[in-house]
Structure 1
Amino acid sequence: MALTFYTNPMSRGRIARWMLEEVGAPYETVVLDYATTMKGEAYRSINPMGKVPAIVHDGHVLTEGAAICAYLADAFPEAGLAPPLSERADYYRWLFFAAGPVEHAVTNKSLGVTPTDDQQRMAGYGHFDLTVDVLEKAASANPYIAGESFSAADVYAGSQVAWGVMFGSLPKRAAFEDYLGRILSRPAYKRAGEIDDALIAQAGAAG
């Protein structure tokens, strides 16, 4: 089955890269530039939003980081990155909590948007501090976000925590640091980072 990965190494594509390295399936990488190819007609036929990441697997298009992680876990079950169906409640819960409330809370905070008390009833994340507290409890309740075993939910939620702590969009808390210590030591994470960092260096050398 053909698997093509569309990305930019300085983007959320790094999440999908990590997931691809975890499943271990061969894939082709297409690197897109923000100002040109990412907004071009050819790529917009794949993702009309003109955003990365995206994958095309055997002719099927997937966009959105959390969806890509969940899909790849199911498409390559031998990697063991999704729990059995009977044990997926926490897996789905925290994967999509990271993609929904956490993403929205962090984005709004970075834009200087603070919902009023009335607006908090409409916002799915309520308010930033509440979202961070819930994320902290999820990251510390078990060794991994969905229980005792590493899963695709850790790729996505863990990436959100790692970026947030690194760039200051999430507070540095002991629970986050402990959680990151468990997941960022994985060979697939290191391998994915090396690939993307090399692409960044190549782009810099090329001007």
Structure 2
Amino acid sequence: MTTSDRITLYYSPQTRATGTRVPLEELGAPYDLQILNMKAGEQRQPAYLAINPLGKVPAIRHGEALVTEQVALYIYLADLFPQAGLTPALNDPRRGPYLRWIAYYGSSFEPALIDKFMKHEPAPVTQSPYSDYETMLGALEAQLSKGPYLLGERMTAADILWGVAFNWTMMFGLVSKQDVFVRYAERIASRPAFQRISADDDKMAAQHAAAAG
């Protein structure tokens, strides 16, 4: 398996998969889309459940490797194309903080967000994976206030993950539009790769809605 092998991204527009297509573009990775119409339930069909039994996107296939889970995809892809400069090397002192903030997305941010969205009573702080919502978000605000990126002046794959996340969570009112989050999200959303994929997603989503209707 080499970096020249084309990557297959299992994809549906305006989903978490969008956030994986952006780094593929930023990395200059050779990839193909395997598009699923989630409005028609294609993600629940046996062919895709053989790829991801949870019926979620994104997933990628690269040679013999099959990778699911958004955080794992970011780490895998950025490491696969180190020449793009979106990941600190193993001996770089920023590698640890980089992994910390990528893992924070899946282990703390998303569980807190789902509890907030579903209006679940949060678990006691001693049992919660994210302490409490305000503390979880406050740690991010403090880190991003050092800016302009999570690790300072250098953008990494972690910033693409978080920039995309802040764009959609603020759009739906799940995260308040604090200045530091707004500026950070705009920094990522203004990049050409994000702009191209957002426009393409709008067209694809409209086609899927028409086909499902």
Do they fold alike, i.e. is TM over 0.5? Answer: yes
Alpha-carbon distance in structure 2 between the residues aligned to 1:140 and 1:183: 16
> In the alignment, what sits opposite 2:75?
70
Question: Aligned letter for 1:4?
Answer: T
Among 201, 206, 209, which residue is 1:201 paired with?
A: 206
Q: CA deviation at 1:201?
A: 2.3
Cα displacement string for residues 45-76 of structure 1 (whole angstroms, at most 9, x for unaligned residues):
11111110101011211111111111110111
- Check the 8 A contact 1:10/1:200 in 2, yes or no: yes
> In the alignment, what sits opposite 1:7?
11
Cα displacement string for residues 3-59 of structure 1 (whole angstroms, at most 9, x for unaligned residues):
111111031111011111111122111111335321111111111111101010112
The count of corresponding residues between Structure 1 and Structure 2 is: 205
Alpha-carbon distance in structure 2 between the residues aligned to 1:61 and 1:104: 24
Q: CA deviation at 1:91?
A: 0.8
TM normalised by structure 1 equals 0.93
Q: CA deviation at 1:145?
A: 1.2
Task: Give secondary structure in 2 for the equivalent of 1:61.
Answer: strand
> In the alignment, what sits opposite 1:27?
31
Residue segments in structure 1 that go unaligned for 5+ positions in a row: none
- Check the 8 A contact 2:164/2:189 in 1, yes or no: no
The list of structure 1 runs, each at least 4 consecutive aligned residues, that deviate by more than 6 angstroms after superposition, is none
TM normalised by structure 2 equals 0.90
1:54 and 2:70 are equivalent in the alignment: no
Task: Give secondary structure in 2 for the equivalent of 1:83.
Answer: coil
Among 113, 117, 127, which residue is 1:110 paired with?
A: 117
Question: Aligned letter for 2:102?
Answer: L
Question: Aligned letter for 2:170?
Answer: V
Question: What aligned pairs does 1:42-191 form with structure 2 within 5 A after superposition?
Answer: 42-85=47-90, 86=92, 87-115=94-122, 119-191=124-196
Alpha-carbon distance in structure 1 between the residues aligned to 2:41 and 2:119: 29
Residue segments in structure 2 that go unaligned for 5+ positions in a row: none
